[in-house]
Amino acid sequence: MGATHMFQDRAIEKYTMVPGHHQGTCASPKDQSIKLRADETIYSEGEYALAIYQVEAGAVRIYRLTSNGQRHILSFCGKGEWFGLESGNVRTDFAEAICETRLRSFRTNQDAVVPIDLLHIALTNLAKAQCKQLIISEQSALKRLAAFVQEMADRHPEDAEFDMMMSRSDIADYLGLTVETVARSFTKLREKCILRLAGKSQRIVRLLDRDALIALTI
């Protein structure tokens, strides 16, 4: 049995109803936490879709592979966001932890109750997909990156500084650019005094001019 199958089986076994409780009662949040290392696989394409997940801490990348093995990142999920909802019974993509991450897992069978509206999750994921489509439709690499930074900033509306968590490679595969182009575009944003980068991996973003960032995306 593969590692991802073992993870999924362990999660499903652990995060079902608490023995002795009424049907549909979920275990306590403390008992439902799954801790993951950076780059650890949550599920893979072709597996049965038995659960959905909510990010408690850290971040997750959702991606697909082309026939030649090229990776296309579909979305990033941060704290409080849900992922793993499928239209069918089989996974159509891959999910991995970007960094040290903590998740909650919930069965999606008929006997279990998920503490959120599944339609809301589906609509939220659709909105994220549409947002990404708008980003990658931009011809300019600088505009793509500016729109991406704005997307990340919108997830931290009260924070002037935030940790993107994802690598330059992740960002490149999300925007359909090369790593070198992403690096050059960040340099341009710094030179325009729109943002400042900090941290060992230059992942921490401090916005210096949010209006100028938004203007670049128009």
- Strands (E) in 14-116, as ranges, are 33-36, 41-43, 51-57, 60-65, 71-77, 82-83, 94-97, 101-107
Q: Give the tens place of pLDDT for each residue, 103-126.
A: 998 887 655 555 566 666 666 766
Amino acid occupying residue 107: R
- Give CA–CA dist 207/218, Å, rounded: 18
Cut 0.85: pTM above it: no
Nearest to 82 by CA among 36, 118, 33: 118
Q: What is the pLDDT confidence band of residue 136, given thresholds at 50, 70 and 90?
A: low
Q: Give the tens place of pLDDT for each residue, 161-204.
A: 999 999 999 999 999 999 999 999 999 999 999 999 998 889 99
CB-based contact 27:18 (threshold 8 Å): yes
Per DSSP, the three-state class of 2 is coil
Q: Taking the CB of residue 18, how many other CB atoms lie within 10 A of it?
A: 11
